[in-house]
């Protein structure tokens, strides 16, 4: 097993392309003018979410290794909160009559649903899980995940983490089943997905052959499959099969991109660009639509054209926000990191 210094967070073409595809799938799943079965839309969206969390886990140790705790906390904060706050404020300005300032403030934490408020930006429901994952990574040093020379010993610790999250997901599922209250089963399921991403990266950083790497990752997938089936069955009843399909297709999508995507096709270039602006693209997709509808109407357009216009608006808006606001903020964050 390589030492922790071997871990890298370099930009990988297939990762950039997959991030863009994941953002696109989440965007499509929130379209209201598309003639696709609602269950299929759900599957597409949740596939994108699962891919996001696998990417998050895959890259996070490289980012954590380069920074101390304070630097890492600042880096994650700068990457998530400022642009999100901007999107919230813009939405609030356009929808002042619909959104109370208390709800706005609650949404600014990412944890609004935990204190009884609805989300303002629909796709942001997953963000508390991502913030919690980063918090876990911040608390533990890289050596917690990569603490021995033996790859098997490191993977055992990963399996233990998976089992713990699986038990917690099962507990929430039972609470949801018996109380009929919406306990967030997906919280620990997606933390599990991110953990799988962490250990796929650690396995990749070995000199093992591809067959051995697959053998090492299979136990993680088996543990997750048990957690997924049991938790979704108790949580979502007859709908559980759609969660089962979506999560497994998301994992399969990640694996296929990692193995076969070489980043040479034009479609990869397009998705890579979407991936670069992905956070703003899927979170803020409705904002330019709200503005557009103040001057124009979608009523005269067919559904396909409406979807195309919404995509173009979301893409342009995300590009503008990225260049005008997000990039300068990230540059400032980098300078602040250097002073810590």
pLDDT tens digit string along 149-208? 778 888 888 999 999 999 999 999 999 999 999 899 999 999 999 999 999 998 988 888
Predicted confidence at residue 207, as pLDDT, reads 85
Q: Output the pLDDT for position 95.
A: 84
CB atoms within 10 A of CB 8: 15
199-203, 243-247, 334-338: range with highest mean pLDDT = 243-247
pLDDT of 10 over the 50 cut: no
Is the pLDDT score of 264 beyond 80? no
pLDDT > 50? residue 337 = yes
Question: Whose CA is closest to 155, among 219, 60, 64, 204?
Answer: 219
pLDDT at 205: 85
pLDDT tens digits, residue range 282-301? Answer: 899 999 998 888 888 877 77
For residue 265, pLDDT over 80 is answered with no
Task: Please state the rounded mean pLDDT for residues 331-337.
Answer: 92
pLDDT of 335 > 50? The answer is yes
Quote the pLDDT of residue 77: 96
Give Cβ neighbours of residue 137 (< 8 Å, ≥ 6 apart): 60, 61, 64, 72
pLDDT band at 105 (very low <50, low <70, confident <90, very high): very high
Q: pLDDT value at position 304?
A: 83
Query: What integer is the mean pLDDT of 37-56?
Result: 93
Confidence band (pLDDT; 50, 70, 90) for 321?
Answer: very high
Across the chain, mean pLDDT equals 89
What is the pLDDT averaged over residues 260-285?
A: 82
Per-residue pLDDT band for 334 (boundaries 50, 70, 90) equals very high
What integer pLDDT is reported at residue 262 of this predicted model?
Answer: 64
Half-sphere exposure (Cβ direction) of 261: Cα atoms closer than 13 Å:
23
- Give the global pTM: 0.91
What pLDDT, on the 0 to 100 scale, is given for residue 171?
96
Residue 92: is its pLDDT beyond 70?
yes
How much of the chain, in percent, has pLDDT values that exceed 90?
60
Q: How many residues does the chain have?
A: 340
What local confidence, expressed as pLDDT, does residue 263 receive?
A: 58
């Amino acid at each position: 097993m390589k030492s922790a210094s071997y871990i890298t967070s370099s930009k990988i073409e297939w990762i950039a392309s997959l991030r863009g595809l994941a953002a696109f799938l989440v965007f499509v799943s929130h379209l209201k003018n598309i003639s696709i079965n609602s269950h299929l839309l759900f599957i597409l969206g949740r596939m994108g979410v699962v891919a996001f969390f696998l990417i998050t886990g895959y890259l996070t140790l490289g980012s954590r290794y380069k920074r101390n705790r304070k630097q890492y906390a600042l880096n994650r904060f700068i990457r998530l909160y400022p642009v999100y706050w901007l999107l919230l404020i813009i939405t609030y300005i356009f929808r002042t009559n619909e959104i109370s300032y208390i709800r706005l403030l609650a949404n600014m934490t990412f944890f609004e649903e935990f204190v009884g408020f609805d989300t303002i930006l629909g796709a942001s429901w997953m963000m508390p899980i991502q913030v919690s994952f980063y918090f876990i990574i911040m608390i533990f040093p890289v050596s917690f995940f990569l603490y021995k020379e033996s790859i098997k010993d490191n993977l055992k610790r990963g399996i233990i983490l998976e089992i713990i999250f699986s038990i917690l997901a099962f507990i929430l599922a039972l609470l949801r089943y018996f109380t009929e209250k919406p306990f967030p089963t997906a919280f620990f399921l997606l933390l599990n997905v991110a953990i799988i991403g962490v250990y796929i990266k650690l396995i990749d950083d070995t000199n093992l052959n591809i067959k051995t790497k697959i053998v090492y990752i299979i136990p993680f997938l088996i543990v997750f499959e048990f957690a997924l089936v049991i938790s979704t069955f108790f949580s979502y009843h007859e709908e559980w099969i759609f969660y089962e399909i979506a999560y497994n297709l998301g994992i399969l999508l990640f694996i296929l991109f990692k193995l076969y995507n070489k980043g040479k096709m034009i479609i990869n270039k397009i998705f890579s660009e979407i991936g670069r602006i992905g956070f703003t693209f899927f979170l803020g997709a409705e904002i330019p639509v709200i503005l557009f509808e103040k001057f124009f109407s979608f009523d005269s357009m067919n559904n396909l054209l409406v979807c195309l216009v919404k995509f173009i608006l979301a893409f342009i808006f995300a590009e503008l926000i990225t260049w005008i606001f997000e990039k300068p903020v990230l540059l400032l964050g980098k300078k602040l990191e250097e002073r810590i």
